[in-house]
Every structure is written in structure tokens, then in C-alpha cells.
Structure 1
Amino acid sequence: MATPQAQPAYVLHSRAYRESSALVDFLTPQGRLRAVLRSARGKAGTLARPFVPLEVEFRGKGELKNVGRMEGVGVAAWMVGDALFSGLYLNELLIRLLPAEDPHPHVFDHYAATLQALAAGLPLEPLLRSFEWRLLDSLGYGFALHQDINGDAIEEGGLYRLKVDAGLERIWLLQPGVFNGIELMAMAQADWAVPGALAAAKRLMRQALAVHLGGKPLVSRELFRKP
């Protein structure tokens, strides 16, 4: 029998399980894995917290695995305030959207890089929009920002609305929730100096994510609203 190979991982969420164990959702290059961590009140339990880069050995072939070995590697991303809430938001997005045991190594790498950028104090909104966009694209829910659903190039003075899972549709009458062509062109280039582009990107990502979240609100979003 092959020996289980350790792999890089981050804890997305952990909760008590039975007497002294924890049920932990991990993000790994092989996807989101759920595993039982025995003796969670000991040394291992201190590592089983978000934003700590880990090396974890998973045992078992079923959907619910067991943690065989877990060690900290590298430096944990230390965050406070809105940066911390942003990290929790990323974790909740991954738990809600990422299918179990569906490998997405690029998502893992981007997540790790985003945590370090948040910890370094870089502006939050561009980091969050980039992560949301890449996650949607990796899961097959992405759409073009440089052209509409008919294949026509986005026009600077045009008006567009999002048809989820299809793309951007050109419209001719102003209505709630639409996007200006100049905003979409800025998003495509990640040019956040264009007035309104970052706010429009936030609206666009919320619309794109909403259908895949099934109407259930994200708990972590409420943290930003608390004084």
C-alpha cells in the first residue's frame, strides 16, 4: 500500500467533532478536502487555524479523510480588521463554491498569494475582485470582459448587463444594475484608476456570484457592515 504523500494546505474552517477531535475543511492543490483531526486540543489543534501554511498528510479514500500528519511551514499571514474579514470572506467563498476533491492548483496558488498581499496591507478591493474573478473562471463560470455575448467588442459608450453563465449583453435603454462600456474595458485591464471601475467590478462580481451561492447570504460579508 502506497504511503500517503503530504501536501501543502490551508485551513478554511474548523469545528469541534465528537469528544476531542475537529472536523476541518482544508484547501489544497488537489481541491477542498474535509478531514477529521484527532486530538484537536493538543499541538495539532494550535495549527488548525486559518491563514497558516501547512503540510498535511491525508489518510483514507472516502470523502471524509483523516489527518495523519500536520506541520506548519513558512510564516502565517497575520491580518487584522478589514484584511482579516477579507481573508474570512475568501475562505467562505471557497467552502461554498469549490467542489470537494476537485483539483484547482492555480486557485490554491492565487489564494496563498492573496493572503500574503492582504497581510502586507495592499489595497483590499483590487485583491478581492481579482480573486473572485479567477475563482469564477477556474470553476468554468467566467465570461469575457472585452466582448459581448454576440462576439462584438465592448464599446466605451455602450451599456451592458450581465446574463449569468452567458456573458455581457448590449442594451440600449438605461436600467438598474447595468454597466458602462468604459468600466468594463477598465476591468479587463485591471485599470482601477478609471473612475467608477472598482465599484462597478464589485457589483459585477456580486451579480456573477449570486446565482452560484444559491441565494444564501455570505456570513463574512456582514462583518464589513459592523462598526
Structure 2
Amino acid sequence: MSTTLVPAFVLHSRPYRESSALVDFLTPQGRLRAVLRGARGKAGSLARPFISLEVEFRGRHELKTVARLEPAGVAHWLEGDTLFSGLYLNELLTRLLPAEDAHPELFELYRGSLLALAARRPLEPLLRAFEWRLLCELGYGFALDRDIHGLPVAPESFYRLQPDAGFEAVQQFQPGLFKGALLLSMAEADWASEGALGAAKRLMRQALAPHLGGRPLVSRELFMSIKESPRG
């Protein structure tokens, strides 16, 4: 791997040995895991989420070493719901993105999403767009306007999601189905359509679940616990 500086963001960090940290970075070359030595010093203060960085990685194996780490712009200040949303994006990438699988467009999507979060853009459309693009980048996407047989989605029909394949029309209503009209609204990103955002959130949970291996998302559980805790 080249020893030049590459743009990066920290996705996740945890203590490693006495004074080091094991850090997952998002780069245009993919998710890279590296040992950051002296994590309690200046380098550790930079190796935090949502800071635009430039990093020099060394090592030929999957576990790299951080040789140099520098700030490359202002930190994205997130708080409240935007902070939890940023942590959610980080956890999705850490859990789903294979190591050293290059996705430069996904890196730019993440960078743009952080800017939108910091600017307090509406959260739900932003999160749904990120989830959908992530699925497509990883090869798990599916058509929203056609069923698994290639037929156009009918607005008045109901459909069941077959993960990684698409939608199958069903003749009788059952819980968990999606009305064709809402799928067509999602295909056009028409979030003004009544029920479209709620249906999109439910759809993304169904689509992501098989790839998360049955383990709940820590960021989602943390967010729900904060929302449900009593406030004095």
C-alpha cells in the first residue's frame, strides 16, 4: 500500500494493549483497520469520529499501523439527534463494509452526509438515502418500481420484500407488506407523499436485517434508551 496520506474518517475506536487504540477508518480505499500508537496523546485527540483527517498507513496485512495522522478540515459538530444519526452511519459502515473493499463514492456520500447532519438538514430523508445507497454500493440493492418478475409495480397492489431480490406481489393483505403507491413514491424520493418516509424506514430495516447477522445496532438501542429515559 502507498505510504502517502489518504483522506479518512474514524468510524470506531477501542483501546488496544497499554496505550494504543485499534481504529476502523473509512477511506476511499475502503474500511481500513489500524493500530494507533500513543492514543492517549495528541494523535488520540484527533482520532475521533466526524473529524476530517489525512492518514498515512503502513503495513501489507489487513491490520495496518498509523504512521502519521493530521487534521484535514474542521470537525463536524454533531449533538442530540444528529450525533446519534452520525453514530448510526458509523456503525452501519463498520458492520457492513468489508475490509479493504474500495468504495470511493461511498466515502463521498459519507462526507456529504456529515455536512448535511452538521447543517441540521431533515434527518429521515438523509438517513434513508444513505441506507439505500449503502445497500446498492454493496450489491444488495433492488428495484423499487418493478417486482422480482420485472413487472411494473402497481399502485394499488401490495408487495412483500424478498431481501436482495426485490418485491413479490401478494394477493391478500398481511402485516409487513408495502403498498405499491408507497414504493413508487420511494423510487422517486417523493417524501412529501403521505406515509412514504415511514414506509421507507420500515423497508430499510427489513432490507438491512439479513446483513447485520441478527445483532442489534448499539447506536439504535442507545438512541431509544435516551428517548425513553425520564427527564427531570
* Shorter-chain TM band: over 0.9
SS class of match (1:176): coil
Query: Aligned pair in 2 of structure 1 residues 61, 121: CA closer, same or farther (>3 Å)?
Result: same
In the aligned structure 1, how far is the partner of 2:177 from the partner of 2:65?
A: 47
Counterpart of 2:171 in structure 1 is 172
Report what 2:203 is aligned to: 204
Aligned partner of residue 146 in structure 1, secondary structure: coil
- Counterpart CA distance in 1 for 2:16 and 2:205 is 33
Structure 2 gaps of 5+ residues are 228-232
Q: Normalization by structure 2: what TM-score? A: 0.96
Comparing 127-136 with 216-225, greater Cα deviation is found at 216-225
Return the offset for 1:223: 2.3
Displacement over 3 Å in runs of 4+? none
Q: What's the CA shift for 1:3?
A: 5.7
| Structure 2 CA distance for aligned equivalents of residues 168 and 147 of structure 1 | 7
Residue deviations 1:79-112 (CA, integer Å, cap 9, x gap): 1001100000000000110000000111110001
SS in 1 for 2:15: strand
Distance 2:112 2:80 in 1: 19
How far apart are the structure 1 equivalents of 2:71 and 2:99? 23
**Amino acid corresponding to residue 200 of structure 1 in structure 2:** A
Alpha-carbon deviation of 1:201? 0.2
Residue 110 (structure 2) aligns with: 111
- Aligned partner of 1:16 in structure 2 is 15
Q: What code does the residue aligned with 2:74 have?
A: V
Which residue identity does 1:57 align to in structure 2? Answer: E
User: Is 1:5 aligned to 2:9, yes or no?
Assistant: no
Q: Counterpart of 1:80? A: 79
Structure 1 position 224, deviation (Å):
2.4
The 5-angstrom pairing of residues 149-164 of structure 1 reads 149-164=148-163
The residue aligned with 1:219 is 218
Q: CA RMSD in A?
A: 0.9
Matches of 2:164 and 2:25, distance apart in 1: 28
Gaps spanning 5+ residues in structure 1: where?
none
The answer as to 2:111 corresponding to 1:100 is: no
Secondary structure in 2 matching 1:141: coil
Q: Give the match for residue 39 of structure 1.
A: 38
1:27-79 alpha-carbon deviations (Å, 9 max, x no partner): 00000000001111111111000000000000000011000111001111101
TM-score (norm. length: structure 1): 0.98
Taking the TM superposition and a 5 Å limit, the aligned residue runs for 1:180-199 are: 180-199=179-198
Give CA deviations for 1:186-208 in whole Å, capped at 9, x if unaligned. Answer: 10011100000000000000000
1:53 alignment partner, SS class: strand
